[in-house]
Structure 1
Amino acid sequence: MFRIFPSVPITWRSPSCVQFGVDDPVLIDGLLPADVALVGELQMGVGSAQYYSRAQDLGADLGRASSLITLLGEAGVMVPDDSDAVKMTKSSPLLATAQIFTLSPDRVSRLLGDSPILVVGPLRAITEQYLSASGFAIAEQHRVEDLDLLSSPLVITTSYLVPDIHTATWLTDREVPHCQVVIGEYSLEVTGLIQPGATPCAICDCLRKKDADDSWLDQYPQIRALPDRESLSDPLSRALGALNVVQILRRSLLRPDTAPVHRNVSLATGIGTDETLAFHPRCQCRASVPHFDLVHEQAQ
């Protein structure tokens, strides 16, 4: 199946010059009337055999018709040929996501929908709205203790002022991947995707905070107990926190080779800065790599 991503804006600069995209436009000039007709076929979606048959009917050179497919593929505007995008409606948000990440829409659908996402904490409702709109599957459970760990769930923890250490520790102990959102007074922090045993954990960052302030852990329970934090926090903080964590989680799943980040977002400007997660030397979260070179080591 040959098909141009429906999310690609297409305009004509002249009867023989077409523009694909706006942010970084791709121009193809010198099109003949038969080429123009083939572009229309590709917008609708056409099987490969039908495409070349249609080219012959239009009197187009088959080599030229093949070159058009090659040009559009190199421009990144064609749906990958292993995709079932024809089954998706033109309004499906996954088509635009697939175009951004250069993946087939059905692969995007699988990667985002295979693992149910549980959101805990005060940002649950608004975060679930962004997750649903982005194509994620939402877990039926509302508590981490009720999760079916065999379903490969992912969790997003949300809190005010300080991280939810209790939930993060519970998830790390059970090797459940998770992200973390903390809404502060002047900024918010998003951490993810934490893969227990493979990436730095939430406690690594807590230990760094303790290094900077020796009484941080002593103050932690008092800060967690402060009332009315939702009404006392910046009204845009919840939307910013939800949006950023969903964006980070989406990128982590669609580009798994991307290193997990710690993002700090200013509530005044909305500008975020990313730092790569780093292990803390005193944290025990790093999984040791076993070496079974000797029999007695295997026994140990």
Structure 2
Amino acid sequence: MDLRLPPGVPIVWRSPTELQLGGTTARAVIKSPSVSAERFIESLRSPGTLEQFHERGARLGLSSAEVRALLDSVSTLLDAPPSQQRKRSARTARSGSGRPPVVLVRGTVAGDDIAEHIAALGCAVRRAGEDYQPPLPAEIGLVVDCADYVLPPRRYTPLMAADVPHLAVIAEDDGATVGPFVLPGRTPCVRCDDLNRLDADRSWAAIATQLAVTSRAPLSRLTKELVRSLVSNSVSSWLTDGTASAYCASDTWTIDALTCEIRRTRRSFHDECGCRALPGSEKRAARRPAARRTARASDAGASVRA
């Protein structure tokens, strides 16, 4: 299979002796690279197999050991070109994983329609407005739920009841958040986030009610690209690995619109949310009396920020 460095990853010098792959975040650092090593790293932007990479290195005067060391240093960055990702995802989708590989994209992210970027992965995609209720669960394998500021319970509650995986994508005042990727009964849900936030800020229910009817101005071009990339990676991983995907976990990915840095946040179940009692849960939560604030949070709206 062909591999390459993603085109959006810059190659810069941290110092006169350190080569960095990555912009605001150092994703790989190579110390004291030779001119040949630098040229070899640059050549990885062009797709090739591991055998072809070794041939490139040999032409530049690098030994097999030097090529292996350089490839090891950037191994986490090497990925298949989009065309091969689409073929791989399509093959996985056709093989079947118990759920039809139909992805419903509901709503937009600050007016940005991300459906076409998901369709490029080779799966069947349907578009719908934010209030559309899909025929569940037979026809839809995954719902990508897009919203501005908050995701109302009326949108995710039916998905939880029907045991449909769903990915929240939220445009916020300071950027955007991708996640949670919810597996009902197995990972913390959007309502868990709602209740955790209400614990931290008693005013959240009133704030969420107002934000639920507020539209956000369009995101910057770079922030849009980062959102699309994170969503595409999440959906591609789900198509390939199903519920074993690394993205189907208790994490959210928050993009800072000013710095374009991406922050990963680990989320947790909330004791007053009953999502762990759903079928498929490894551990059913004990029933607890519903507090008055829980009802207020459900009626108000939901946030995906942890």
Shorter-chain TM band: 0.5 to 0.7
Residue of structure 2 in register with 1:245 after alignment: 231
CA distance in 2, matches of 1:206, 1:212: 10
- Distance change (3 Å), C-alpha of 1:205 and 1:148: closer
- Distance change (3 Å), C-alpha of 1:97 and 1:144: same
Residue of structure 2 in register with 1:95 after alignment: 84
Give the AA of the match of 2:106: V
Deviations 1:192-231 (A, max 9, x none): 321111211100011111111112112222122225x235
CA contact (8 A) 2:85 2:121 kept: no
* Equivalent of 1:107 in 79, 86, 92: 92
- Distance change (3 Å), C-alpha of 1:16 and 1:105: farther
- Offset, 1:23: 10
Give the AA of the match of 1:285: C
CA contact (8 A) 1:262 1:274 kept: yes
- Offset, 1:14: 4.1
CA distance in 2, matches of 1:185, 1:276: 21
- Distance change (3 Å), C-alpha of 1:185 and 1:8: same
* Equivalent of 1:8 in 38, 45, 48: 48
CA distance in 2, matches of 1:152, 1:139: 9
The answer to whether 1:230 aligns with 2:217 is: yes
Any unmatched runs of 5+ in structure 1?
Answer: 27-74, 76-90, 291-300
Question: What is the aligned-residue RMSD (CA, Å)?
Answer: 3.9
Query: Which moved further from structure 2: 126-135 or 240-249?
Result: 240-249
CA contact (8 A) 2:89 2:121 kept: no
Residue of structure 1 in register with 2:122 after alignment: 135
CA contact (8 A) 1:186 1:266 kept: yes
Give the AA of the match of 2:230: N
- Offset, 1:252: 3.6
CA distance in 2, matches of 1:107, 1:138: 15
Residue of structure 2 in register with 1:72 after alignment: none
CA contact (8 A) 1:94 1:105 kept: no
- Distance change (3 Å), C-alpha of 1:148 and 1:214: closer
Deviations 1:69-104 (A, max 9, x none): xxxxxx9xxxxxxxxxxxxxxx98352578xxxx79
CA contact (8 A) 1:193 1:249 kept: no
Secondary structure of the corresponding residue to residue 114 of structure 2: helix
Residue of structure 1 in register with 2:174 after alignment: 186
CA contact (8 A) 1:197 1:285 kept: yes
Give the AA of the match of 2:143: V
CA distance in 2, matches of 1:172, 1:276: 20
* Aligned residues with identical type, % of pairs: 20
- Distance change (3 Å), C-alpha of 1:92 and 1:267: closer
- Distance change (3 Å), C-alpha of 1:215 and 1:287: same
Question: Per residue, is there more helix in 1 or in 2?
Answer: 1
Query: Which moved further from structure 2: 6-15 or 202-211?
Result: 6-15
Which structure would you say has the larger RCO, counting Cα contacts within 8 Å and 6 or more residues apart? Answer: 2
CA distance in 2, matches of 1:221, 1:15: 62
Normalising by structure 1, report the TM-score. 0.59
The answer to whether 1:170 aligns with 2:182 is: no
Any unmatched runs of 5+ in structure 2?
Answer: 4-46, 281-306
CA contact (8 A) 2:253 2:262 kept: yes
Residue of structure 1 in register with 2:193 after alignment: 205
